[in-house]
Amino acid sequence: MKRENRYILLLIGFFGLFYIAEKTLFSKIYHLIENVIQTYPLSFFLTYLFVGLPVLMFVFFSNKRKLLSPLGLRRNILKGVLISFIFSIPMFVGYGIMAGFSINISAKTFWFGCVFAAFFEELYYRGIFFGQLFKNTRLGFFPSLIVSALVFASLHLYQSNDLVTMIGIFITTFMGAGLFAWLYSEWDFNLWVPVSLHFFMNLSWEMFSVADNALGGINAGLIRGLTIMLAIVGTIIYKKKRGIPLTVNKFTLWMKSKPEI
C-alpha cells in the first residue's frame, strides 16, 4: 500500500473514531466534567477536546509532532477576525432590519450555537478532515471536500423532521462547508478565517432570531447569499491585487502532482 493511501485511510479511520465518540460519549463525558468544574463553557470545551483526542493525536504525530501550525491556528487571528467581520456585515445589517434591531440571544446560545459550533466544526471538519487531505495528499479540492462536507451537512439534519426542509438544510450546510473550505484554502490555510466567518454568521442568525434551523426563509437566504458573494468576490479581488494566485484552480480541483504544502 502506498504511503499516501495509508495516510488517507488512517486519517479517515481516526476521524471515524472522533465521530463515533462525539455521537455516543459526548453527553456522558460532558456531565462528568461539568459535575467537577461546574462551568459549562469550559466543560463543553474540554469535552470536545477529549472526544477529539484520536484525530488530534493523529495530526500531531503525522506532522512531526506539531499540532497548531498544521491546522492553521498559528496564523494571524486578528486578520482572520477582521476579514470575516467585513464579509458578515450584510447579514448583521439585513437581519437587523428584518428584526427591527431587536437583539435576542441567551448566554448558552452564544457559547454553544456561536463560539463552540464555529470553532470546533471548523477545527475538526475543515482544519483536520478537509485540510489534512488537501494539504498533505495529492487529492484535489473537490475530493478532499466531498467526504468532509457530506458528514458536516448530515450533522444538521436533526433540525427538522420534514423531508423537504431536511433536504434544504442538507444543501445549505453542504454549500456552507464548501465555502468555509475554499476560504480556508485561499487565505493561506488560516483557520481563523472560516472560524470567524462561521461565528459571525451564526451570531447574526441567533441575535435576530432569524429561524429555528439553518435553512431559514427566502429573505434570510438572500441576505446570507450577499455575505457569501462578498466573501468570494472580496477574496478573489484581494488576491488579484496582490498578485497572489488562487490556491483552488484547474490544477488543484481533482488531483495534484504533489501535496499542496
Average pLDDT, the chain: 90
Can you tell me the distance from the alpha carbon of 233 to that of 161, in angstroms, rounded to the nearest whole number? Answer: 35
**Bridge-partner residues for 255, per DSSP?**
139
pLDDT in tens, 128-162: 999 999 999 999 999 998 877 777 666 655 655 67
Q: What pLDDT is attached to residue 159?
A: 58
Q: What pLDDT is attached to residue 14?
A: 92
**Residue 166 binned pLDDT confidence (cut-offs 50, 70, 90):** low
The percent of residues in the chain predicted with pLDDT above 70, rounded, is 91
What Å distances lie between residue 258 and 4, 6, 138, 140, 196, CA to CA? 11, 16, 5, 10, 30
User: Which long-range contacts does 148-156 make (Cβ < 8 Å, 24+ apart)?
Assistant: 148/177, 148/181, 149/174, 149/177, 149/178, 149/181, 150/174, 151/19, 151/125, 152/121, 152/125, 152/177, 153/177, 156/213, 156/214
**Residue 46 binned pLDDT confidence (cut-offs 50, 70, 90):** very high
Q: What pLDDT is attached to residue 215?
A: 67
pLDDT in tens, 89-121: 999 999 999 999 999 999 999 999 999 999 999
231 near 182, Cβ under 8 Å?
no
Q: pLDDT: is 178 or 155 the higher one?
A: 178
H-helix or E-strand spanning residue 33: helix 26-37
Q: What pLDDT is attached to residue 28?
A: 96
Q: What pLDDT is attached to residue 241?
A: 97
Map out the domains of the chain as residue ranges.
1-62, 71-261
Whether 63 has a pLDDT exceeding 90, the answer reads yes
Can you tell me the distance from the alpha carbon of 121 to that of 68, in angstroms, rounded to the nearest whole number? Answer: 16
226 near 90, Cβ under 8 Å?
yes
Q: What pLDDT is attached to residue 132?
A: 95
Can you tell me the distance from the alpha carbon of 233 to that of 228, in angstroms, rounded to the nearest whole number? Answer: 9
Q: Give me the mean pLDDT over the 222-233 stretch.
A: 96
pLDDT in tens, 186-211: 999 999 999 999 999 999 999 999 98
CA dihedral 26, 205, 145, 228 (to 10 degrees): -170
CA nearest neighbour of 220 among 159, 168, 179, 161: 168
Q: pLDDT: is 199 or 167 the higher one?
A: 199
Span of 27-41, 118-132, 201-215 with lowest mean pLDDT: 201-215
CA nearest neighbour of 149 among 173, 113, 123: 173
199 near 115, Cβ under 8 Å?
yes
Q: pLDDT: is 62 or 149 the higher one?
A: 62
The percent of residues in the chain predicted with pLDDT above 90, rounded, is 74
